[in-house]
Structure 1
Amino acid sequence: MKNKPTIQQKGRFKLKYRGVDCLNCGHPLELSDKYCPNCSQANSTKKLTLLDFFEEFLANYFSYDSKLWKTLTALLLRPGKITKEYISGRRLSYTNPFRFLLSLAIIYFLIISFNNEFESFNKFGSINKNPVFDLNNEFNKIEFENEEEKKLARAQLDSFNINSFIKNRINEKDSIILSDPELHFKKIDTSSLTSRFIEKVDFFNTVIRNDTIYYFDQGTTKFNIPSSNENEMAFNLATSIIEIDKRPGSFLSSLISKLPFTTFFFLPFFSFFIWLVYIRKKYTYTDHLIFSFHNQSLLFILLIVSNLINAVFNISSEGLFILIFAIYLYKAMRNFYQQGRVKTVIKYFFLNTIFFILGALAITILIAQSVFTY
């Protein structure tokens, strides 16, 4: 008696393509097996065509029973419960929380990369303006009651000659450094560590702007500067500051694009505080980390939707979606940890305070790293 499937399948799953052994792991199969029970590969001996390849790819993401849609539905409609189900063992039904969060971070990064809003700030860079503060331009923005009052104010402004004073002071400082860079640098090396490093950054800033110095090795050779880690760090910082001053918009775009990935550095620390707050609950540290991953994934989804809405309708919807996330987070804590409203509210505000502190610390480190390496 032949073991045939009750429903005739189509495409690669037709009966004539069924095998008796899995082509992937060699596990024995029956003709009724659509997939291998050992490794889950499709039971089909048909050669893979281009159409089959794309159908299989799209089916994994858009079929009604795919992990992606189940994860999205559970995440949006059942705050906290998706984490409870995942840690209880229903892992095959949902996408891996870390992989899901990483995918959303990449999507958000791509959206931010296409948004050139910050690039418009490059017009304020020093490459497009006079490095000395333009008092005349600011003066013309002031409204006067009559022309006589304007003339009087103009005469008083000209008498101060502030632009010339600032320019002369800058030139005087630069000329002292450039007159004998090697001697000036030796004097700097006798100062204390903090002031010494700041003065070195200022020194390199001056010589880079006024001389053809592109690499640290050029400076060490030309000005007989010791090749030390401190000196190289000061040179790199001075170079970054000059580039940021020239193109501030590009720096902001670069900085914003890195923000999503700071999540993966401070979420494990944040999960430790969640574990401390709910230490009496029978959850492991990993359970709290998965809870954090799920909530952060929802935040990325809301930010992605917000960016798309802003781009289409030319509005700012971030505030609304942050409010939605704040409500969602409270519901998720209530559903997952199963505690009363008062306790949940207290822990909600405490953990959010910790979250913002850790976030600010991570952003500070990111800015410092970006400034040194830009």
Structure 2
Amino acid sequence: MIDKQIVCKNCEEKFDSNYRFCPYCGQKSNDELTLGVLFYNTISNYFSFDARFFKSFIPLMFKPGYLANSFIEGKRLLYIHPAQVYLFISVVFFFFFSFISRDQVERMDKNFKETMHKADVIDSLSVQTSLDSLGGNEAIENIKSKNAIKGVVGKELINVTDSLENSITGKKIEPKTVLGFNKRIVDSLTKAGVKDDRILEAMGMEKEASAFQHKLYRQLLKLYRQRNGGALVQAFYDSIPLAMFILLPIFALILKLLFYNRGSFSHHLVFSFYFFSFLFIVFSLLIIADFIWDVPALVDAIFMLSTFFYLFMAVKRFYKQGWVISFFKTNIAAFLFLLLVIPLAAVIVAFGAFMFY
């Protein structure tokens, strides 16, 4: 009896109907699209959430450098791919991290608005109290709102009204300074409908300012007007995943310089993928623990110290050098990365978040 031939929907090759999977491409012969199939394929293809992940988890956590060695030696189907494990674990970490960042964003937004409100109140009272007692406040407000002095606009208008205030009160009223500029000047020019370019000049921007300086002052004015410091912090946190993806090859480059004759750059990149995956797992566990109870600072310190010990053992196993030289090079790598690369990256990310939030 000849078995019935069917055509694979994926590669369009013919094969016997008694096969459950296509012998040419491996797709299931009767692969009906259901919600289960859809989501399984998504998770499997993008995160490789299969038996290899669980087989890789224990060595990743408790056998430093083992997975990197296995991958370099050619065992690339037995364990999960280094880039895939990094992608999956980083997504999990930043999911948990989003809960912490959300609280900090809300707190920052609230504190920033309270600070700006206090500055407004203090600045208003410092002028209002002295002017009301002498009956000069109404005249000054009319000058500011109606621009009664012809030909006097912008910063010159503020100088005129400040002079009138000083003559009425008999003393100099110091304006409140926030974010590096005179807030009363900015507030008055904004109420008078002056164009932003004039306001930026009043804030201290030179007329011949470059496009970069113009953008910087405009972002500063935007932050002052919107008073949403939380949005700035959120922009910073949103930039961290990209920054980490850039920091990882930099860490691999440091290892390449320290172990120049120990493989190509791709070898060090494999090591870095697995090590950063371990870091994300540790940080995720700390975040989860913090949700359950208030983790003491000593416990946090022990966990952080364990990451250095893990790196040391991974370096020893992967690069196959002596204990002393491995410990020495691990310290150099940690020093360069933690005290030079990460602080510089943090400054760049924070500045970028401010410029583009």
- Structure 2-normalised TM-score? 0.68
Do the aligned partners of residues 285 and 30 (structure 1) sit closer, same or farther apart at CA in structure 2, a change above 3 Å counting? farther
Instruction: Give distance in 1, aligned partners of 2:59 and 2:157.
Output: 65
Do the aligned partners of residues 227 and 278 (structure 1) sit closer, same or farther apart at CA in structure 2, a change above 3 Å counting? closer
Q: CA deviation at 1:210?
A: 3.8
Aligned length: 303
Q: CA deviation at 1:363?
A: 0.7
1:20-68 CA distance string (max 9 Å, x none): 55331234545675544543322x2253344554566678899996232
Q: Which residue of 2 aligns with 1:269?
A: 250
1:193-246 CA distance string (max 9 Å, x none): xxxxxxxx9569766544439x9x9424889967951452232342355279x4
Q: CA deviation at 1:103?
A: 3.1
1:330-374 CA distance string (max 9 Å, x none): 111111111111011000100101111111111111111122223
Aligned pair 1:131/2:116, yes or no? no
Instruction: Give distance in 2, aligned partners of 1:212 and 1:261.
Output: 37
Q: Report if the CA contact (8 A) 1:27-1:38 is conserved.
A: yes
Q: Which residue of 2 aligns with 1:373?
A: 356
1:250-306 CA distance string (max 9 Å, x none): 53344234324311112222212211211122x110110111111011101111111
Letter in 1 for 2:283: L
Do the aligned partners of residues 359 and 130 (structure 1) sit closer, same or farther apart at CA in structure 2, a change above 3 Å counting? same
Q: Aligned match of 1:322 in 304, 312, 316?
A: 304
Structure 1 alignment gaps of length 5 or more: 4-17, 135-162, 169-174, 184-200
Q: Aligned match of 2:53 in 52, 64, 68?
A: 68
Q: Report if the CA contact (8 A) 1:220-1:226 is conserved.
A: no
Do the aligned partners of residues 353 and 55 (structure 1) sit closer, same or farther apart at CA in structure 2, a change above 3 Å counting? closer
Instruction: Give distance in 1, aligned partners of 2:48 and 2:5.
Output: 25
Identity between Structure 1 and Structure 2 (%): 23
Q: Aligned match of 1:287 in 257, 261, 267?
A: 267
Structure 2 alignment gaps of length 5 or more: 131-143, 145-151, 160-178, 202-206
Q: Aligned match of 1:88 in 73, 85, 106?
A: 73
Instruction: Give distance in 2, aligned partners of 1:242 and 1:75.
Output: 47
Aligned pair 1:180/2:156, yes or no? yes
Q: Aligned match of 2:232 in 251, 254, 267?
A: 251
Instruction: Give distance in 2, aligned partners of 1:343 and 1:351.
Output: 12
Q: Which residue of 1 aligns with 2:327?
A: 345
Instruction: Give distance in 2, aligned partners of 1:345 and 1:223.
Output: 54
1:111-164 CA distance string (max 9 Å, x none): 222233312243432445411898xxxxxxxxxxxxxxxxxxxxxxxxxxxx96
Q: Which residue of 1 aligns with 2:190?
A: 212
Q: Which residue of 2 aligns with 1:15?
A: none
Q: Report if the CA contact (8 A) 2:64-2:313 is conserved.
A: yes
Q: Report if the CA contact (8 A) 1:125-1:248 is conserved.
A: yes
Q: Report if the CA contact (8 A) 1:97-1:293 is conserved.
A: yes
Do the aligned partners of residues 65 and 228 (structure 1) sit closer, same or farther apart at CA in structure 2, a change above 3 Å counting? closer
Moved more, 328-337 or 32-41: 32-41
SS at match of 1:212: helix
Q: Aligned match of 2:343 in 346, 351, 360?
A: 360
Q: Which residue of 2 aligns with 1:278?
A: 259
Letter in 2 for 1:92: L
Do the aligned partners of residues 25 and 73 (structure 1) sit closer, same or farther apart at CA in structure 2, a change above 3 Å counting? farther
Letter in 2 for 1:331: M
Q: Which residue of 1 aligns with 2:134?
A: none
Do the aligned partners of residues 223 and 293 (structure 1) sit closer, same or farther apart at CA in structure 2, a change above 3 Å counting? closer
Do the aligned partners of residues 69 and 208 (structure 1) sit closer, same or farther apart at CA in structure 2, a change above 3 Å counting? farther
Instruction: Give distance in 1, aligned partners of 2:237 and 2:31.
Output: 48
Aligned pair 1:22/2:4, yes or no? no
